[in-house]
Amino acid sequence: MIHAYCLFILVQLLSHSGASESGIVHGKVSKPHSRPYMASLQIRGHHTCGGILIREDFVLTAAHCKNSEPLTVVLGAHDIRKKEKSQQRIQVAKYHQHPDFTGQFDNDIMLLELKENAKLNKYVKAIGLPEKDGKIPANNICTVAGWGQTADDEPASNVLKEATEKIQSPSECKKKWKVFIPKQMLCTKFDKKKGGVCQGDSGGPLLCNSKPQGITAFTAKGDCNNPKYPHVFTKVSFFLPWIQKVMKGPGNVA
């Protein structure tokens, strides 16, 4: 399988290095096509990152999902190893990484402008974005979804899976991760048995109250299911002005 280095990982608690993929540990198989906004980002037919369709011509994902090889966006999928009739495969016309993303942990967000509009139907739908500066209370239960590995040493899942995680307070996140930036990140606590994000679907959503509040960013290296290390997500609401600017057209993009 091609490794597109799609999820930031920490070699030690307070340092950062390299990247990997992320996915869903334990959790459950999603009802087929119950999340029609989900996107599988692929390289030569292999899943490398997740994303969400936010307009018929734009997919939101993590900035570190950009690769030296072109990405193909697959929409309307449940089992990504099959050529389902519901699937739409669309090439990327332009990669809009956040201008302040430097390859580190901050500003880890990217918009993929599609070469052609997705055909919206019961299998493929755009999801609405959260309100600007919307606050998500600690202990709020949210959902993560993706096609990645089901454990650090397990193969990736062919079918879409999901799990629940709880929002953790920014102060607790900061205690665990020195690279945590409260204004632009969210972190979650999770149950080891229920699991959550891991290797295989960076760029996938953290859904709270049916809105994508976060984009999967990073977790602990080789220990994604250890509750001692919260999972970290890019906070979508903080970046709404930038997202709206990019989607208005190239004349408004720096």
Angstrom distance (rounded) from CA 112 to CA 136: 26
Contact 215, 197 (CB under 8 A): no
Tally of CB atoms within 10 A around 33: 17
Tally of CB atoms within 10 A around 19: 19
Q: Provide the 8-state DSSP code for 150.
A: S
Marked catalytic residue, from 16, 20, 30, 64:
64
Phi-psi region of 54 (alpha: psi -120 to 50; beta: other; left: phi over 0): alpha
Marked catalytic residue, from 78, 202, 231, 237:
202
| Residue 79 annotated to the active site | no
Angstrom distance (rounded) from CA 222 to CA 70: 27
Marked catalytic residue, from 57, 106, 108, 201:
108
| Residue 171 annotated to the active site | no
Q: Max Cα separation, the chain?
A: 49
| Residue 33 annotated to the active site | no
Tally of CB atoms within 10 A around 175: 12
For the chain, first and last CA: distance in Å? 36
- The catalytic residues are 64, 108, 202
